[in-house]
Amino acid sequence: MPTRFDSPTLAGRIKVSFEFFPPKNGDMEGQLWESISRLAPFNPDFVSVTYGAGGSTKQPTLNTVSRIIKETDLAPAAHLTCVEASRDEVDEVAREFAGAGVKHFVALRGDPSEGVGAKYRPHPGGYENSAALVGGLRELGDFEISVAAYPEKHPESPDFALDIDLLKRKVDAGATRALTQFFYDNDAYERYVERVRKAGIFIPIVPGIMPIHNFAQVARFADMCGASVPELLARRFEGLENDPETRAMVATAVAAEQVYDLVERGVDEFHFYTMNRAKLVYAICHLLGLRGNGSNGNNGIHAAA
């Protein structure tokens, strides 16, 4: 019986990007760099590096994007938040990143340091929300600016109307792309894009794809973020808690199916949340028909100057 995996390769038909987070220690730095090296040959449109609340990972984030610029051919996008920082402090960080060669920011309000679910309180004298942050970045330079979007709405939003109004304010302030919260219901994503287009928003709404390394953990995180987990998806991972090899194979197939279905709906850009682990994302991209260039023998990584 034909399946989506019998479809023609998606190489040349889709663009991918990857998200990483800055390492906390030497071992994690080794894992991060191994993951970057493994995924670099897929020629991602960009790779993003996350940023902690109040600049808690400012130096590790800066170190990571600086190393990417110096030692790879990849285009880094630095996350930037406005949590627990004044406008002057945020602007200074943006200038520092730009001075290192960053030309792309992912502008986010950010979660409070207490964690997801805690009440957000704007910093006195800070950017009150992500739309204001986008506007501030636009005043500082001609950057590419990505922002967040929520196919099943932000958990703090009372309704989709308010959620989409904030997205429109971010676009009006200068955002050039939206990266979505991860989701597993493609119908929800499609309905969201329809709402967004009806609101007069025409920037790319790039699906965020989260490979499932551990179903129980992802389900808990999805619940906190307001992302639904279809019953069929849950059934596919039943009984695999202690079977990591089978779980990885199922996770690869599930994510590839999701991407194929979205391509059939007209989507041609995808943002993968790697969790600094390359194996699943590499397998998914390979299953989609993408191939690393490998032509220079170093997988897009070169020695530091």
Q: 196-209 pLDDT, tens per residue?
A: 999 999 999 999 99
Q: In this predicted structure, what is the pLDDT of residue 121?
A: 75
Instruction: Measure the CA–CA gap between 212 and 292, rounded to whole angstroms.
Output: 23
Q: Residue 294: what pLDDT? A: 47
Rounded-to-integer distance, Cα 41 and Cα 295, Å: 9
Tens of pLDDT along 219-232?
A: 999 998 899 999 99
Q: What is the pLDDT of residue 275?
A: 96
Beta bridge partners of 209: 272
- The rounded radius of gyration (Å) of the Cα atoms in the chain is 19
Among 240, 222, 159, 221, smallest CA distance to 185 is for 222
Helix (H, G, I), strand (E, B) or coil at 254: helix
Residue 178's pLDDT is 98
Place of tokens 């991060």: 32
Name which residue leads in pLDDT, 119 or 262: 262
Q: What is the pLDDT of residues 235-250, one digit of tens each?
A: 999 999 999 999 999 9
Q: What are 65-102's pLDDT values in tens digits? A: 999 999 999 999 999 998 888 999 999 999 999 999 99
**pTM: predicted TM-score of the whole model, two decimal places:** 0.92
pLDDT band at 117 (very low <50, low <70, confident <90, very high): low
Write the pLDDT tens digit of every residue in 291-303.
876 433 345 665 4
Q: Which of 294, 169, 115, 187 lies closest to 178 in space, CA to CA?
A: 169
Least confident range of 33-47, 49-63, 169-183: 49-63
Of 178, 38, 198, 158, give the one whose Cα is nearest residue 106. 178
- The confidence score (pLDDT) of residue 4 equals 57
pLDDT of residue 10: 92
Catalytic residues: 19
Closest CA to 280 of 216, 212, 208: 212
- Is the predicted pLDDT of residue 153 greater than 60, yes or no? yes
CA distance 131 to 169: 6
- Exposure b/e, 53-77, CB count within 10 A at least 16 = b: bbbebbebbbbbbbbbbebbebbbb
How much is the pLDDT for 197?
98
At 42 the three-state DSSP class reads helix
Distance CA 133, CA 121 (A): 15
Domains and CATH numbers, the chain: 4-287 (3.20.20.220)
Longest dimension (CA), the chain: 61
- pLDDT at 304 (0 to 100): 40
- Least-confidence region, from 38-47, 54-63, 147-156, 158-167: 54-63
**Contact residues for 163 (Cβ-Cβ < 8 A; gap 6+):** 150, 153, 154, 157
Question: For residue 84, how many other CB atoms are within 10 A of its CB?
Answer: 18
For residue 114, how many C-alpha atoms fall within 13 Å in the half-sphere facing its CB? 5
The answer to whether residue 252 scores a pLDDT higher than 50 is yes
What mean pLDDT is reported for the chain?
Answer: 91
